[in-house]
Amino acid sequence: MTITLMVLLIVSILSISLLTVSTGHFHLNTVDRSYHASYYIAESGITTASDQLEKAVINVYDGSSNEADFFQKIEGEIISIKELVENQSFSEHFGENPELQLKIEAQTNQNPREYLITSTGVIGDQKRHISKQITLRWKTSDMIDIPDNLSSYVGSGSVGCQSTQIIIEKNSSITGDFGTSCTNEGTIEITDNAQFSNSTIYVPEGAEETVINSDQYNGELPPVETVTNLIDNGSIDQIFASFPSTPEYDTPEDETVDGNNVLEDGKLTIDKKSTDGYTLEVDQDMSLEEISISGNRTLNVDTGGEDRELTVGSLDINNGQINVVGSGSLSLYVDKELSMNGNGSINDGGDPKQLNLYLSGNNREFTIIGSQKVTGTIFAEDADIMSTGSGGFNGVIITGGSYIEMSGSSDNEAFILAPFADFVGDSSTTIRGTVIAKTLRLSGASDIIYHPFDLFKYDLPFHIGESSTDGLIEEERPVEN
């Protein structure tokens, strides 16, 4: 009997021990599962918040006019994202209701702006915290979206609207669409025998009844279409706010040809028969003090198939020519004076994509007369440009100047971006391309004929197309804390 009681006691003790161990193990498993599950909840909060914030940033950027507007709208989106994430429902976990807590806090107040996302998963007494650093950046857009068939447009850039922005008169014509961003009464004035082909007139919404003055016009007007900000002003202003400075490079060594100095102390002179057709080998970026060409002589510039830069203080072409030869391109910076006289030309007959001519400085003038021709891209910080003869431009003209005139039967195939300039076409001049200016006046049987330019192939200080959202958001890897 005693032995039986002892065996029963031992079995009871063992059973109680096993039960205690099992209960403890069960509790530990429950805690362990809750610990891991709370991490997954926190992780889902970080993932959802990051995805939603990325979508919000892209949408907000497209609808924001400036940095302050952008970040103000982001703050509103953050409130919505927090509500969305925290209102997620989770299945009951061993009698506990899981909870997700989210914080999105700005760490800085400038641009770019840093935010810390903290997601906390909670199950009972178990909490896991995961955080992630995100940087948001407002970018001033340098994208310009040029609509197809746009021959001319005025009122772009940060300039005020005048009473009359477009005047088309005296047998002048426009082929292609044209318009204005201004709403003043009579902004577009059409008179005499003006002619239009394949045209639509773009005007701001609400101005379609008043913006066109055609009282002195007996022809049939093109259809009118309302559109606001056909071309973004902020993008245009940004182009001229970031004009490139003139770089400085080494000066090439002196050189003579048949006893005549061609290169001496940084001055390149082509004025004699022996130097006619001289080729400047730009095998590296270089700087010159002066280039002077006269006597109907020719200077060839060979970049050796590479894209090279050549800076020059003064460029004087008096009955002379500069040709860009080979397959490379030349960026030519003229820092002081640019003078063309007689039958001078720059890259005439060449590929306009091979020459980029930069004119820095304020209140400058660039005039071509007679049969002078320039083929390439002209990027002028602040230069008035005139073509008054049978010559002309072939390529792209971008200037921050206040006046452009093309007259005297000049023949131009050009994309012209001059948002601060009064543009005048007169005396039977022809522009095949697009003109974007502050004002436009066509007179004396002058014509603007839309001609498409493949601007993607040019080395331009802006991008063509819709604004890019690349670089708006940078994310670091999430970490537990």
Residues 149, 116, single domain; the answer is no
Query: Integer distance in angstroms from the first to the last C-alpha of the chain?
Result: 63
User: Do 146 and 455 meet the contact criterion of CB atoms below 8 Å apart?
Assistant: yes
Which stretches of the chain score pLDDT less than 50? Answer: 18-28
Of 319, 323, 310, give the one whose Cα is nearest residue 339: 319
d(CA 386, CA 405): 5
**Identity of the residue numbered 14:** L
Residues 364 and 411 in one domain: yes
Would you call the peptide bond into 112 cis, given omega within 30 degrees of 0 as the criterion? Answer: yes
Report d(CA 375, CA 435) in Å as an integer. Answer: 17
The pLDDT, as a whole number, for residue 13 is 56
b/e string for 161-188 if b means 16 or more Cβ within 10 A?
beebbbbbbebbbbbbbbbbbbbbeebb
Closest CA to 368 of 305, 411, 431: 411
Based on the fold, state whether residues 128 and 156 are members of the same structural domain: no
Biggest CA pair distance of the chain: 138
Residue pLDDT, tens place only, 356-414: 999 988 889 999 888 899 999 999 999 999 998 888 999 999 999 999 999 988 889 99
Q: Same domain, yes or no, for 369 and 232?
A: yes
Look at residue 16 in the predicted model and tell me its pLDDT.
53
- 446, 326: one domain: yes
Q: What is the pLDDT of residues 146-179, one digit of tens each?
A: 899 999 999 865 556 767 899 999 999 999 999 9
Same domain (yes/no): 359, 323: yes
Rounded distance between C-alpha atoms, residue 385 and residue 377, angstroms? 13
Buried-exposed string 225-253: b where 16+ CB fall within 10 A, e elsewhere: eeeeebbbbebbbbbbeebeebeeeeebe
Q: Does residue 148 share a domain with residue 100?
A: no
Looking at the structure of the chain, the number of domains it has is 2
Q: In terms of domains, do 127 and 199 share one?
A: no
Regarding whether 407 and 280 lie in a shared domain, the answer is yes
* 392: β partners: 373
Task: Indicate if 147 and 117 belong to the same structural domain.
Answer: no
Same domain, 159 and 295: yes
Domain of residue 87 covers 2-140+471-480
The DSSP code sequence of 393-436 is EEEEEEE--SEEEEESS-EEEEEEEEEEEEEEE-SS-EEEEEEE
| Same domain, residue pair 433 and 382 | yes
